[in-house]
Amino acid sequence: MINSKEILADFIFAGNRVSSFSLDTKDVGTKGVKIKLAYDFDFTTKYLEKTEEEYIGTIEFLVSVKAKIKKSILFKIDLKMEGLFFGNPGRLAEETFIDMLELNGVATLSQLARAYIMSVTALSGINPPVKLPMINVVALRDKKKRNEKKTQG
């Protein structure tokens, strides 16, 4: 066994909350019909502060899911989940903390969002429940940065 003091992270997840959630469903006949799911993801750094003792960062992870049968929308899900993270400025550079917030923070929130949506859709009678796909967080961040450069330039 490895002593936890030797491997504790300098980047800490303090907690999360669902800041916004909606699930809209329609009564559409689904028997024998193929349903197409479309997923959209995004994230935003909501808050960033550095004190002598710690970095503090809040990130918001956004998920949008649409289920369609031909041109009819069967259901639509929108979720905003926020996560609070801390870092040790004595051991992490500010840029490293921001990288960890955008990568580790989004990865953490994506899995919490996955569990939340799966649970809510199961309890809402959607069968099978919606399982968010795994996402490549590095690719998400890179695409977001490219899109931001396009809108600025």
Residue ranges of domains in the chain: 10-17+40-64+77-143
Q: CA 38, CA 66: separation in Å to the nearest integer?
A: 5
For each of the chain's 153 residues, which pLDDT tens digit applies? 999 888 888 899 999 999 999 999 987 666 777 889 999 999 999 999 999 999 999 999 999 999 998 888 899 999 999 999 999 999 999 999 999 999 999 999 999 999 999 999 999 988 889 999 999 999 999 999 998 888 887
Q: CA 32, CA 30: separation in Å to the nearest integer?
A: 6
| Residue from 74, 64, 67, 68 nearest 113 by CA | 64
- Does residue 100 contact residue 92 with C-beta atoms inside 8 Å? yes
Helix (H, G, I), strand (E, B) or coil at 120: helix
For the 10-17+40-64+77-143 domain, the top CATH level (class) is alpha beta
Q: Which amino acid belongs to residue 87?
A: G
Which residues are 72's β-sheet partners?
69
Q: Taking the model in full, what pTM does it have?
A: 0.90
What is the pLDDT, as a whole number, of residue 95? 95
What one-character-per-residue DSSP string does 87-103 give? E-TTTS-HHHHHHHIII
What is the pLDDT, as a whole number, of residue 26? 85
Which residues are 82's β-sheet partners?
17, 60
What is the pLDDT, as a whole number, of residue 60? 98
